[in-house]
Amino acid sequence: MAEVEKGCELFSAGHRACGGCGPALAARLLLKATGENVIISAATGCMEVFSTPYPETAWGVPWIHSLFENCAAVASGIEASLKRQGRKEKVVCIGGDGATLDIGVLCISGAFERGHDITYICYDNEAYMNTGIQRSGATPYGASTTTSPAGKCSRGNPLPKKDMPRILAAHGAPYVATASIAYPNDFVQKVERAINTPGPCYIQVHAPCCTGWGFESGETLNMAKLAIETGLWVNYEMVDGEVVKAKKVRRRPVEEYLQKQKRFRHLFKPARQDDVIAQIQAIADANAERFGIDIKKKESSE
């Protein structure tokens, strides 16, 4: 724990995130892992907005924001510049799921293909939250958002989450991982591993948004943990494109997770949508199968 505490002041209090904000915790943990010797290239988004209204920056390390979709390209330039100057700061991108899985894909693909020594962190809160909870490529199947609303002839987001880790692993990224703010030390260790691995690395950290998902602010970590315990989120690591480690769980039914969030309320009221719930359960089952996360009898956790 002492190790985690080090550098905690680098992301300072006074930022304007909602109480109970998952991404704010992700930012704090990120800087605990990187320490001071880092340059952050940020995408436009909730985190950027709540942490940097001029002149009140919450960032105690060098930080740059240019646009929504270009933080990986900006980081490419920073990395090239540092290399030319013989400087040793680590370069870390941070963007939300919209900036990462949707609008920023071109720049990220280019940066990963070129092999820059950067680490890209996607804080995944599963929709465009800053602008009012619109659907992104990371919004899970069945979730109601303001652009994939449930209605008479809609049962929420009709598409599954885009598999960004696999896309970036396919670019040849030496280290790709998923993490969750429910397991802070695991996330911190993954960031440390990523920034110390030469080449472009990617971490997608699950960071629930109480405002956008519709749950009480104190439940943020519980919700992140439930996502893992239901198999809807899997914490895993890929080295050179191969999954080498995935967190095992005694899985619980997805309903336990869905019922606690307003974005899935239409699946239970006014009438149960058994087929949609079953499809979401099937997604969890497929995750469990792909990553082998189910704890069999007499097998210990991890």
The single residue among 45, 98, 165, 184 that binds another protein, judged by CB under 8 A, is 184
Q: Does 171 bind another protein (CB under 8 A)?
A: no
Tokens of 228: 């893992």
Residue 84 binding another protein, by CB under 8 A: yes
Is the torsion defined by CA of 63, 65, 68, 71 positive or negative? negative
**Residue nearer to another protein on the CB measure, 48 or 97:** 48
Select the residue interacting with another protein from 169, 181, 267, 293 (CB under 8 A): 181
Residue 23: count other Cβ atoms within 10 Å of its Cβ: 27
Interacting positions 23-52 with another protein (CB under 8 A):
24-25, 28, 36-39, 41, 48-49, 51-52
Consecutive H or E run containing 25: helix 22-34
Is residue 80 close enough to count as binding another protein by CB under 8 A? yes
Residue 300 as a binder of another protein (CB under 8 A): the answer is no
227 binds another protein (CB under 8 A): no
Work out the angle at residue 53's Cα, subtended by the Cα atoms of residues 51 and 56, and round it to the nearest 5 degrees: 75
DSSP class of residue 249 equals B
Q: Can you say how many angstroms the Cα of residue 158 is from the centroid of all Cα atoms in its chain?
A: 21
Question: What burial class does residue 14 get, using C-beta atoms within 10 Å of its C-beta: 0-12 exposed, 13-18 middle, 19+ buried?
Answer: exposed
Q: How far apart are the first and last CA of the chain?
A: 20
Question: Measured from the CB of residue 154, what is the shortest distance to another protein in angstroms?
Answer: 32
Return the number of the residue (75 or 143) whose C-beta is nearest another protein: 75
Interaction of residue 106 with another protein, rule CB under 8 A: yes
- Give yes or no for residue 199 binding another protein (CB under 8 A): no
Residues in region 268-297 near another protein by CB under 8 A: none
| Binding footprint of another protein, residue count (CB under 8 A) | 77
195 sits near another protein (criterion: CB under 8 A)? no
66 binds another protein (CB under 8 A): yes
Q: Which SS3 state, helix, strand or coil, does residue 28 take?
A: helix
Asked if the peptide bond before residue 198 counts as cis, ω within 30 degrees of 0, the response is no
Check: CB of residue 224 under 8 Å from CB of residue 199. Answer: no
**Alpha-carbon gap, residue 87 to 176, rounded angstroms:** 25
Q: Which is closer to another protein, CB of 128 or CB of 141? A: 128
Between 69 and 229, name the residue whose CB sits nearer to another protein: 69
Query: Which x/- pattern over 241-260 shows residues binding another protein (rule: CB under 8 A)?
Result: --------------------
Task: At 156, list the tokens.
Answer: 């929420």
Q: Rounded CA gap, 302 and 300, in Å? A: 6
Told to check if 216 binds another protein by CB under 8 A, we report yes
Return phi, psi of residue 160, to 5°.
Answer: -80, 170
State yes or no: residue 65 binds another protein (CB under 8 A).
yes
Per-residue contact flags (x/-) with another protein for residues 131 to 170, judged by CB under 8 A: ----------------------------------------
Q: Find the shortest distance in angstroms from Cβ 162 to another protein.
A: 19
Binding flag, residue 74, another protein (CB under 8 A): yes
